[in-house]
Amino acid sequence: MYISQQIAANAVNQVLSGRNLTLALPAALAVFPNATPQQRGAAQDLSYGTLRFYGEIDAYLSQLLEKPLTDDRIHTLLLVAVYQLLHDKADAFTVVNQAVYAVSELKRPAPKSWAKGLVNAILRNFLRQKEALAKTIPASEVATYSYPQWWINKLKAQYPDHWQSMLETGNQHPPMTLRVNTQKISIADYMQLLARQDIEATHVGGQAVTLTRPQPVEKIPGFTDGIVSVQDYGAQLAAYLLDLTPDSKTPNLSVPALKVLDACCAPGGKTGHILEMANVALTSLDSDEARLQRVQSNLDRLALSANLVVGDASSASWWDGQSFDRILADVPCTASGIVRRHVDIKWLRREADIASFAAQQAKILPSLWQMLAKGGKLLYVTCSIFNEENQAQVDKFLQNNADATQLPFELPVNHTEASITQLNGQLIPSNAHDGFYYALLQKN
Ligand SMILES: C[S@@+](CC[C@H](N)C(=O)[O-])C[C@H]1O[C@@H](n2cnc3c(N)ncnc32)[C@H](O)[C@@H]1O
Protein backbone atom coordinates (compact mmCIF):
# COMPACT_ATOMS: atom_id res chain seq x y z
CA MET A 1 0.00 0.00 0.00
CA TYR A 2 2.84 2.43 0.75
CA ILE A 3 3.81 2.60 -2.94
CA SER A 4 0.28 3.64 -3.90
CA GLN A 5 0.29 6.17 -1.06
CA GLN A 6 3.60 7.61 -2.29
CA ILE A 7 2.41 7.84 -5.91
CA ALA A 8 -0.87 9.49 -4.86
CA ALA A 9 0.91 11.92 -2.51
CA ASN A 10 3.24 12.93 -5.34
CA ALA A 11 0.30 13.46 -7.76
CA VAL A 12 -1.70 15.45 -5.19
CA ASN A 13 1.38 17.53 -4.39
CA GLN A 14 1.79 18.44 -8.06
CA VAL A 15 -1.88 19.39 -8.36
CA LEU A 16 -1.72 21.58 -5.26
CA SER A 17 1.26 23.29 -6.93
CA GLY A 18 -0.86 24.04 -10.02
CA ARG A 19 -0.48 21.05 -12.37
CA ASN A 20 -3.40 19.19 -13.98
CA LEU A 21 -4.06 15.73 -12.56
CA THR A 22 -4.06 14.25 -16.08
CA LEU A 23 -0.38 15.26 -16.32
CA ALA A 24 0.51 14.86 -12.64
CA LEU A 25 -0.68 11.26 -12.22
CA PRO A 26 1.29 9.76 -15.14
CA ALA A 27 4.38 11.66 -13.95
CA ALA A 28 3.92 10.29 -10.42
CA LEU A 29 3.35 6.75 -11.75
CA ALA A 30 6.51 6.99 -13.86
CA VAL A 31 8.58 7.23 -10.66
CA PHE A 32 7.54 3.63 -9.90
CA PRO A 33 7.84 1.82 -13.24
CA ASN A 34 7.64 -1.57 -11.48
CA ALA A 35 4.38 -0.84 -9.66
CA THR A 36 1.81 -3.59 -10.26
CA PRO A 37 -1.49 -2.81 -12.04
CA GLN A 38 -3.22 -3.08 -8.62
CA GLN A 39 -0.82 -0.57 -7.05
CA ARG A 40 -1.29 1.78 -10.00
CA GLY A 41 -5.08 1.46 -9.80
CA ALA A 42 -5.02 2.08 -6.04
CA ALA A 43 -2.74 5.12 -6.55
CA GLN A 44 -5.24 6.55 -9.03
CA ASP A 45 -8.16 5.99 -6.64
CA LEU A 46 -6.24 7.60 -3.77
CA SER A 47 -5.26 10.64 -5.88
CA TYR A 48 -8.84 11.20 -7.06
CA GLY A 49 -10.33 10.57 -3.63
CA THR A 50 -7.90 12.88 -1.81
CA LEU A 51 -8.58 15.73 -4.25
CA ARG A 52 -12.33 15.09 -4.24
CA PHE A 53 -12.43 15.59 -0.46
CA TYR A 54 -9.41 17.86 -0.06
CA GLY A 55 -11.37 20.62 1.70
CA GLU A 56 -12.59 18.22 4.36
CA ILE A 57 -9.30 16.34 4.77
CA ASP A 58 -7.30 19.56 5.04
CA ALA A 59 -9.67 20.83 7.75
CA TYR A 60 -9.02 17.70 9.85
CA LEU A 61 -5.29 17.77 9.26
CA SER A 62 -4.81 21.45 10.07
CA GLN A 63 -6.37 20.87 13.47
CA LEU A 64 -3.75 18.20 14.19
CA LEU A 65 -0.72 20.15 13.00
CA GLU A 66 0.71 22.69 15.43
CA LYS A 67 2.41 24.53 12.56
CA PRO A 68 2.44 24.04 8.78
CA LEU A 69 4.80 21.29 7.58
CA THR A 70 7.77 22.53 5.57
CA ASP A 71 8.17 19.27 3.59
CA ASP A 72 5.14 19.22 1.28
CA ARG A 73 5.78 15.54 0.44
CA ILE A 74 5.02 14.65 4.06
CA HIS A 75 2.03 16.98 4.10
CA THR A 76 0.46 15.33 1.03
CA LEU A 77 1.26 11.86 2.34
CA LEU A 78 -0.72 12.79 5.46
CA LEU A 79 -3.57 14.11 3.29
CA VAL A 80 -3.71 10.79 1.43
CA ALA A 81 -3.65 8.77 4.67
CA VAL A 82 -6.39 10.92 6.26
CA TYR A 83 -8.44 10.45 3.09
CA GLN A 84 -8.07 6.68 3.52
CA LEU A 85 -9.02 6.87 7.20
CA LEU A 86 -12.12 8.92 6.40
CA HIS A 87 -13.39 7.42 3.16
CA ASP A 88 -11.60 4.17 2.35
CA LYS A 89 -12.41 0.65 3.48
CA ALA A 90 -8.73 -0.15 4.22
CA ASP A 91 -7.84 -1.22 7.76
CA ALA A 92 -6.93 1.91 9.78
CA PHE A 93 -3.79 0.53 11.40
CA THR A 94 -2.47 -0.74 8.08
CA VAL A 95 -3.02 2.73 6.61
CA VAL A 96 -1.06 4.33 9.46
CA ASN A 97 1.80 1.79 9.40
CA GLN A 98 2.13 1.98 5.64
CA ALA A 99 2.13 5.80 5.67
CA VAL A 100 4.91 5.76 8.28
CA TYR A 101 6.87 3.33 6.11
CA ALA A 102 6.21 5.50 3.03
CA VAL A 103 7.90 8.43 4.81
CA SER A 104 10.99 6.35 5.50
CA GLU A 105 11.15 5.49 1.78
CA LEU A 106 11.18 9.14 0.63
CA LYS A 107 14.47 10.08 -1.03
CA ARG A 108 16.34 13.23 -2.01
CA PRO A 109 16.22 14.99 0.34
CA ALA A 110 15.67 12.24 2.90
CA PRO A 111 13.17 13.46 5.48
CA LYS A 112 14.47 14.46 8.90
CA SER A 113 14.68 11.71 11.53
CA TRP A 114 11.61 13.00 13.37
CA ALA A 115 9.36 12.73 10.29
CA LYS A 116 8.32 9.11 10.83
CA GLY A 117 7.41 9.79 14.46
CA LEU A 118 5.45 12.86 13.46
CA VAL A 119 3.39 11.02 10.79
CA ASN A 120 2.74 8.19 13.22
CA ALA A 121 1.66 10.59 16.00
CA ILE A 122 -0.58 12.70 13.77
CA LEU A 123 -2.41 9.75 12.24
CA ARG A 124 -2.87 8.04 15.61
CA ASN A 125 -4.15 11.32 17.08
CA PHE A 126 -6.56 11.51 14.18
CA LEU A 127 -7.91 8.06 14.98
CA ARG A 128 -8.22 8.90 18.69
CA GLN A 129 -9.79 12.35 18.24
CA LYS A 130 -11.80 11.79 15.07
CA GLU A 131 -15.21 12.37 16.66
CA ALA A 132 -14.20 15.56 18.45
CA LEU A 133 -12.48 16.89 15.30
CA ALA A 134 -15.57 16.08 13.23
CA LYS A 135 -17.63 18.49 15.33
CA THR A 136 -15.73 21.45 13.87
CA ILE A 137 -16.43 20.51 10.23
CA PRO A 138 -19.97 21.95 9.89
CA ALA A 139 -18.65 25.41 10.86
CA SER A 140 -16.73 25.59 7.57
CA GLU A 141 -18.44 25.28 4.19
CA VAL A 142 -15.10 24.53 2.52
CA ALA A 143 -14.64 21.57 4.90
CA THR A 144 -18.27 20.44 4.59
CA TYR A 145 -18.50 20.51 0.78
CA SER A 146 -14.83 20.34 -0.28
CA TYR A 147 -14.97 23.27 -2.71
CA PRO A 148 -13.26 26.69 -2.53
CA GLN A 149 -15.45 29.26 -0.75
CA TRP A 150 -15.78 31.47 -3.87
CA TRP A 151 -17.22 28.50 -5.79
CA ILE A 152 -19.75 27.75 -3.04
CA ASN A 153 -20.76 31.44 -2.86
CA LYS A 154 -21.23 31.63 -6.62
CA LEU A 155 -23.46 28.56 -6.75
CA LYS A 156 -25.51 29.83 -3.81
CA ALA A 157 -26.09 33.11 -5.67
CA GLN A 158 -26.79 31.51 -9.07
CA TYR A 159 -28.73 28.43 -7.95
CA PRO A 160 -30.49 29.27 -4.67
CA ASP A 161 -32.57 26.06 -4.90
CA HIS A 162 -29.97 23.65 -6.24
CA TRP A 163 -26.52 24.72 -5.00
CA GLN A 164 -26.22 22.09 -2.27
CA SER A 165 -27.21 19.14 -4.42
CA MET A 166 -24.94 20.44 -7.21
CA LEU A 167 -21.96 20.53 -4.84
CA GLU A 168 -22.76 17.04 -3.57
CA THR A 169 -23.25 15.60 -7.05
CA GLY A 170 -19.84 17.01 -8.01
CA ASN A 171 -18.27 14.90 -5.24
CA GLN A 172 -19.73 11.61 -6.44
CA HIS A 173 -18.03 9.05 -8.62
CA PRO A 174 -18.99 9.82 -12.22
CA PRO A 175 -21.20 7.35 -14.05
CA MET A 176 -19.81 5.61 -17.13
CA THR A 177 -22.27 6.14 -19.95
CA LEU A 178 -22.10 4.66 -23.42
CA ARG A 179 -23.53 6.02 -26.64
CA VAL A 180 -24.92 3.17 -28.69
CA ASN A 181 -24.82 3.63 -32.44
CA THR A 182 -28.43 2.65 -33.09
CA GLN A 183 -27.75 2.57 -36.84
CA LYS A 184 -25.74 -0.57 -36.07
CA ILE A 185 -27.54 -2.20 -33.14
CA SER A 186 -30.80 -1.57 -31.30
CA ILE A 187 -30.69 -0.56 -27.63
CA ALA A 188 -32.57 -3.77 -26.73
CA ASP A 189 -30.03 -5.97 -28.55
CA TYR A 190 -27.10 -4.10 -27.04
CA MET A 191 -28.56 -4.44 -23.53
CA GLN A 192 -28.73 -8.20 -24.16
CA LEU A 193 -25.11 -8.21 -25.31
CA LEU A 194 -24.13 -6.53 -22.04
CA ALA A 195 -26.25 -8.93 -20.01
CA ARG A 196 -24.56 -11.92 -21.68
CA GLN A 197 -21.22 -10.57 -20.42
CA ASP A 198 -22.67 -9.97 -16.94
CA ILE A 199 -22.34 -6.20 -17.32
CA GLU A 200 -25.22 -4.51 -15.48
CA ALA A 201 -26.55 -1.40 -17.20
CA THR A 202 -29.56 0.92 -17.51
CA HIS A 203 -30.92 2.61 -20.61
CA VAL A 204 -31.19 6.23 -19.43
CA GLY A 205 -32.69 7.75 -22.58
CA GLY A 206 -31.97 8.26 -26.29
CA GLN A 207 -28.83 6.30 -27.19
CA ALA A 208 -27.42 6.47 -23.66
CA VAL A 209 -26.74 3.36 -21.58
CA THR A 210 -25.15 3.79 -18.14
CA LEU A 211 -23.09 0.97 -16.67
CA THR A 212 -23.73 0.18 -13.01
CA ARG A 213 -19.97 -0.32 -12.56
CA PRO A 214 -17.44 1.42 -14.84
CA GLN A 215 -15.39 -0.99 -16.97
CA PRO A 216 -12.11 -0.71 -18.87
CA VAL A 217 -13.05 0.12 -22.49
CA GLU A 218 -11.44 -3.10 -23.79
CA LYS A 219 -14.05 -5.06 -21.82
CA ILE A 220 -17.01 -3.15 -23.27
CA PRO A 221 -18.65 -5.18 -26.04
CA GLY A 222 -18.57 -3.35 -29.37
CA PHE A 223 -16.20 -0.57 -28.27
CA THR A 224 -13.25 -1.50 -30.48
CA ASP A 225 -15.64 -2.21 -33.38
CA GLY A 226 -17.10 1.29 -33.12
CA ILE A 227 -20.60 0.14 -32.14
CA VAL A 228 -20.47 2.09 -28.88
CA SER A 229 -18.52 5.08 -27.56
CA VAL A 230 -18.04 6.41 -24.05
CA GLN A 231 -19.89 9.72 -23.71
CA ASP A 232 -21.78 11.40 -20.90
CA TYR A 233 -25.56 11.49 -21.38
CA GLY A 234 -25.60 15.30 -21.15
CA ALA A 235 -23.00 15.51 -23.93
CA GLN A 236 -25.12 13.17 -26.05
CA LEU A 237 -27.83 15.82 -26.31
CA ALA A 238 -25.59 18.06 -28.47
CA ALA A 239 -26.01 16.17 -31.73
CA TYR A 240 -29.82 16.08 -31.23
CA LEU A 241 -30.16 19.74 -30.30
CA LEU A 242 -28.03 20.81 -33.26
CA ASP A 243 -30.97 19.71 -35.40
CA LEU A 244 -29.37 17.81 -38.24
CA THR A 245 -32.57 17.37 -40.25
CA PRO A 246 -31.84 18.74 -43.70
CA ASP A 247 -34.29 21.73 -43.92
CA SER A 248 -35.47 22.33 -47.47
CA LYS A 249 -32.32 20.94 -49.10
CA THR A 250 -32.59 18.06 -51.56
CA PRO A 251 -33.22 14.90 -49.52
CA ASN A 252 -30.85 12.88 -51.70
CA LEU A 253 -29.32 10.43 -49.24
CA SER A 254 -26.10 9.94 -51.21
CA VAL A 255 -25.28 13.67 -51.12
CA PRO A 256 -24.57 15.20 -47.70
CA ALA A 257 -27.47 17.57 -47.12
CA LEU A 258 -26.01 19.88 -44.53
CA LYS A 259 -22.66 21.61 -44.26
CA VAL A 260 -21.70 21.42 -40.59
CA LEU A 261 -18.83 22.92 -38.60
CA ASP A 262 -17.79 21.28 -35.33
CA ALA A 263 -15.67 24.09 -33.89
CA CYS A 264 -13.54 23.18 -30.83
CA CYS A 265 -14.03 19.50 -31.65
CA ALA A 266 -11.30 17.57 -29.84
CA PRO A 267 -11.21 14.82 -28.63
CA GLY A 268 -14.14 14.26 -30.96
CA GLY A 269 -16.96 12.82 -28.84
CA LYS A 270 -19.58 15.02 -30.49
CA THR A 271 -17.90 14.77 -33.93
CA GLY A 272 -18.50 11.01 -33.93
CA HIS A 273 -22.08 11.39 -32.77
CA ILE A 274 -22.94 13.95 -35.49
CA LEU A 275 -21.58 11.62 -38.17
CA GLU A 276 -23.42 8.62 -36.74
CA MET A 277 -26.68 10.55 -36.77
CA ALA A 278 -26.71 12.18 -40.18
CA ASN A 279 -25.10 12.22 -43.59
CA VAL A 280 -23.49 15.66 -43.35
CA ALA A 281 -20.38 17.31 -44.78
CA LEU A 282 -18.50 17.88 -41.55
CA THR A 283 -15.54 20.17 -40.91
CA SER A 284 -14.00 19.58 -37.48
CA LEU A 285 -11.83 22.37 -36.15
CA ASP A 286 -9.55 22.56 -33.14
CA SER A 287 -6.64 24.84 -32.27
CA ASP A 288 -4.69 21.99 -30.67
CA GLU A 289 -3.03 19.79 -33.29
CA ALA A 290 -2.16 17.01 -30.83
CA ARG A 291 -5.75 16.83 -29.59
CA LEU A 292 -6.96 16.75 -33.21
CA GLN A 293 -5.04 13.47 -33.62
CA ARG A 294 -7.30 12.00 -30.94
CA VAL A 295 -10.29 13.01 -33.09
CA GLN A 296 -8.76 11.10 -35.99
CA SER A 297 -8.25 7.94 -33.91
CA ASN A 298 -11.83 8.18 -32.65
CA LEU A 299 -13.10 8.50 -36.22
CA ASP A 300 -10.90 5.57 -37.31
CA ARG A 301 -12.47 3.41 -34.59
CA LEU A 302 -15.95 4.44 -35.75
CA ALA A 303 -15.02 4.08 -39.47
CA LEU A 304 -16.23 7.64 -40.13
CA SER A 305 -14.57 10.65 -41.71
CA ALA A 306 -14.54 14.43 -41.43
CA ASN A 307 -12.41 17.25 -42.77
CA LEU A 308 -10.09 17.92 -39.80
CA VAL A 309 -8.66 21.45 -39.63
CA VAL A 310 -6.17 22.97 -37.20
CA GLY A 311 -7.29 26.52 -36.59
CA ASP A 312 -8.45 29.18 -34.17
CA ALA A 313 -12.23 29.46 -33.86
CA SER A 314 -11.90 33.11 -32.84
CA SER A 315 -10.38 33.99 -36.23
CA ALA A 316 -11.44 33.41 -39.83
CA SER A 317 -7.89 32.80 -41.09
CA TRP A 318 -8.56 29.08 -41.76
CA TRP A 319 -12.02 29.62 -43.36
CA ASP A 320 -12.64 29.35 -47.15
CA GLY A 321 -15.62 31.75 -47.05
CA GLN A 322 -18.28 29.02 -47.67
CA SER A 323 -20.96 29.30 -45.00
CA PHE A 324 -22.12 26.46 -42.79
CA ASP A 325 -25.74 25.37 -42.20
CA ARG A 326 -25.00 24.23 -38.66
CA ILE A 327 -22.24 25.13 -36.25
CA LEU A 328 -21.49 23.36 -33.00
CA ALA A 329 -19.53 25.73 -30.75
CA ASP A 330 -18.36 23.56 -27.83
CA VAL A 331 -16.20 26.37 -26.49
CA PRO A 332 -13.33 26.21 -23.99
CA CYS A 333 -14.68 26.85 -20.47
CA THR A 334 -13.98 26.41 -16.76
CA ALA A 335 -15.34 22.82 -16.97
CA SER A 336 -17.10 23.48 -13.66
CA GLY A 337 -19.93 21.13 -14.74
CA ILE A 338 -17.67 18.07 -14.90
CA VAL A 339 -15.79 18.30 -11.58
CA ARG A 340 -16.67 14.75 -10.59
CA ARG A 341 -14.60 13.59 -13.61
CA HIS A 342 -11.85 16.18 -13.14
CA VAL A 343 -11.54 16.53 -9.38
CA ASP A 344 -8.47 18.78 -9.66
CA ILE A 345 -10.49 21.56 -11.32
CA LYS A 346 -12.00 22.66 -8.01
CA TRP A 347 -8.55 23.48 -6.61
CA LEU A 348 -6.83 24.66 -9.79
CA ARG A 349 -9.43 27.20 -10.92
CA ARG A 350 -9.34 30.74 -9.61
CA GLU A 351 -12.45 32.91 -9.64
CA ALA A 352 -10.71 35.24 -12.12
CA ASP A 353 -10.49 32.35 -14.63
CA ILE A 354 -14.24 32.66 -15.26
CA ALA A 355 -13.75 36.14 -16.75
CA SER A 356 -10.85 35.02 -18.91
CA PHE A 357 -12.80 32.03 -20.30
CA ALA A 358 -15.80 34.32 -20.86
CA ALA A 359 -13.57 36.73 -22.80
CA GLN A 360 -12.31 33.86 -25.03
CA GLN A 361 -15.90 32.69 -25.63
CA ALA A 362 -16.96 36.26 -26.46
CA LYS A 363 -14.34 36.29 -29.24
CA ILE A 364 -15.21 32.84 -30.60
CA LEU A 365 -18.99 33.36 -30.86
CA PRO A 366 -19.04 36.35 -33.29
CA SER A 367 -16.23 34.87 -35.36
CA LEU A 368 -18.21 31.66 -35.89
CA TRP A 369 -21.44 33.63 -36.40
CA GLN A 370 -20.09 35.23 -39.60
CA MET A 371 -19.57 31.69 -40.98
CA LEU A 372 -23.22 30.67 -40.43
CA ALA A 373 -25.64 30.74 -43.39
CA LYS A 374 -28.85 32.78 -43.13
CA GLY A 375 -31.48 30.54 -41.53
CA GLY A 376 -28.69 28.34 -40.15
CA LYS A 377 -28.34 27.26 -36.52
CA LEU A 378 -25.47 27.50 -34.07
CA LEU A 379 -25.48 25.39 -30.91
CA TYR A 380 -23.42 27.06 -28.18
CA VAL A 381 -22.20 24.55 -25.58
CA THR A 382 -20.17 24.63 -22.38
CA CYS A 383 -19.54 22.03 -19.69
CA SER A 384 -19.82 24.80 -17.12
CA ILE A 385 -22.40 25.67 -14.50
CA PHE A 386 -21.30 29.31 -14.14
CA ASN A 387 -23.81 31.72 -15.63
CA GLU A 388 -21.11 34.14 -16.88
CA GLU A 389 -20.06 31.52 -19.45
CA ASN A 390 -23.60 30.44 -20.25
CA GLN A 391 -26.85 32.42 -20.49
CA ALA A 392 -25.15 35.71 -19.54
CA GLN A 393 -22.69 35.18 -22.40
CA VAL A 394 -25.52 34.37 -24.82
CA ASP A 395 -27.60 37.36 -23.66
CA LYS A 396 -24.68 39.71 -24.41
CA PHE A 397 -24.28 38.14 -27.84
CA LEU A 398 -28.01 38.55 -28.58
CA GLN A 399 -27.84 42.23 -27.57
CA ASN A 400 -25.00 42.85 -30.04
CA ASN A 401 -26.39 40.74 -32.90
CA ALA A 402 -29.84 41.69 -34.08
CA ASP A 403 -29.80 38.83 -36.62
CA ALA A 404 -29.64 36.20 -33.85
CA THR A 405 -32.60 34.55 -32.09
CA GLN A 406 -32.36 32.03 -29.27
CA LEU A 407 -34.65 29.10 -30.06
CA PRO A 408 -36.50 27.10 -27.41
CA PHE A 409 -35.51 23.46 -27.07
CA GLU A 410 -37.64 20.48 -27.64
CA LEU A 411 -36.27 17.53 -25.75
CA PRO A 412 -35.73 14.74 -28.28
CA VAL A 413 -38.11 11.79 -28.24
CA ASN A 414 -36.94 9.01 -25.90
CA HIS A 415 -35.12 11.42 -23.59
CA THR A 416 -36.42 11.32 -20.08
CA GLU A 417 -34.37 13.99 -18.29
CA ALA A 418 -36.46 17.14 -17.89
CA SER A 419 -33.98 19.61 -16.39
CA ILE A 420 -32.70 20.91 -19.72
CA THR A 421 -35.98 22.65 -20.53
CA GLN A 422 -36.78 23.69 -16.98
CA LEU A 423 -33.60 25.66 -16.57
CA ASN A 424 -33.23 27.43 -19.89
CA GLY A 425 -30.56 25.20 -21.38
CA GLN A 426 -28.60 24.60 -18.18
CA LEU A 427 -28.38 20.95 -17.26
CA ILE A 428 -28.10 20.69 -13.50
CA PRO A 429 -25.52 17.95 -12.88
CA SER A 430 -27.30 14.80 -11.70
CA ASN A 431 -26.70 11.08 -11.34
CA ALA A 432 -27.66 10.78 -15.01
CA HIS A 433 -25.50 13.48 -16.60
CA ASP A 434 -22.87 16.19 -16.21
CA GLY A 435 -23.53 19.95 -16.01
CA PHE A 436 -23.72 21.03 -19.65
CA TYR A 437 -25.19 24.28 -20.94
CA TYR A 438 -26.85 24.55 -24.36
CA ALA A 439 -28.14 27.53 -26.34
CA LEU A 440 -29.48 27.15 -29.87
CA LEU A 441 -29.17 30.34 -31.95
CA GLN A 442 -30.69 30.90 -35.37
CA LYS A 443 -29.55 33.47 -37.93
CA ASN A 444 -32.51 35.54 -39.17
C1 LIG B 1 -14.74 21.32 -24.41
S2 LIG B 1 -13.46 20.79 -25.42
C3 LIG B 1 -14.35 20.15 -26.78
C4 LIG B 1 -14.90 18.77 -26.58
C5 LIG B 1 -15.39 18.15 -27.89
N6 LIG B 1 -16.36 18.96 -28.57
C7 LIG B 1 -15.96 16.76 -27.70
O8 LIG B 1 -17.18 16.58 -27.69
O9 LIG B 1 -15.18 15.81 -27.57
C10 LIG B 1 -12.86 22.31 -26.05
C11 LIG B 1 -11.84 22.20 -27.17
O12 LIG B 1 -11.64 23.54 -27.65
C13 LIG B 1 -10.32 23.63 -28.15
N14 LIG B 1 -10.04 25.06 -28.28
C15 LIG B 1 -9.72 25.94 -27.31
N16 LIG B 1 -9.61 27.18 -27.82
C17 LIG B 1 -9.87 27.08 -29.15
C18 LIG B 1 -9.90 28.00 -30.22
N19 LIG B 1 -9.65 29.30 -30.04
N20 LIG B 1 -10.19 27.54 -31.45
C21 LIG B 1 -10.44 26.23 -31.67
N22 LIG B 1 -10.41 25.29 -30.69
C23 LIG B 1 -10.14 25.73 -29.45
C24 LIG B 1 -9.50 22.86 -27.14
O25 LIG B 1 -8.30 22.42 -27.74
C26 LIG B 1 -10.45 21.71 -26.79
O27 LIG B 1 -10.15 20.58 -27.57
349 vs 55, 148, 342, CA distance in Å? 14, 9, 11
The pTM for the full model equals 0.93
Q: pLDDT category, 354, cuts 50, 70, 90?
A: very high
pLDDT, position 421: 58
Inform me whether the pLDDT recorded for 41 exceeds 70.
Answer: yes
236 vs 70, 95, 243, 431, CA distance in Å? 47, 41, 13, 15
Inform me whether the pLDDT recorded for 67 exceeds 90.
Answer: no
Inform me whether the pLDDT recorded for 250 exceeds 50.
Answer: no
| Helix ranges (DSSP H) in 31-136 | 37-52, 54-64, 72-87, 92-104, 115-134
21 lines ligand 1 (CB under 6 A): no
Residue 176 CA to residue 329 CA, distance in Å, equals 24
Q: Which domains does the chain have, with CATH numbers?
A: 2-140 (1.10.940.10), 176-231 (3.30.70.1170), 234-443 (3.40.50.150)
CA 334–ligand 1 middle distance (angstroms): 12
Residue 390 CA to residue 401 CA, distance in Å, equals 17
Inform me whether the pLDDT recorded for 303 exceeds 50.
Answer: yes
267 lines ligand 1 (CB under 6 A): yes
Residue 413 CA to residue 408 CA, distance in Å, equals 15
14 lines ligand 1 (CB under 6 A): no
CA 288–ligand 1 middle distance (angstroms): 8
CA 65–ligand 1 middle distance (angstroms): 43
Catalytic residues: 383
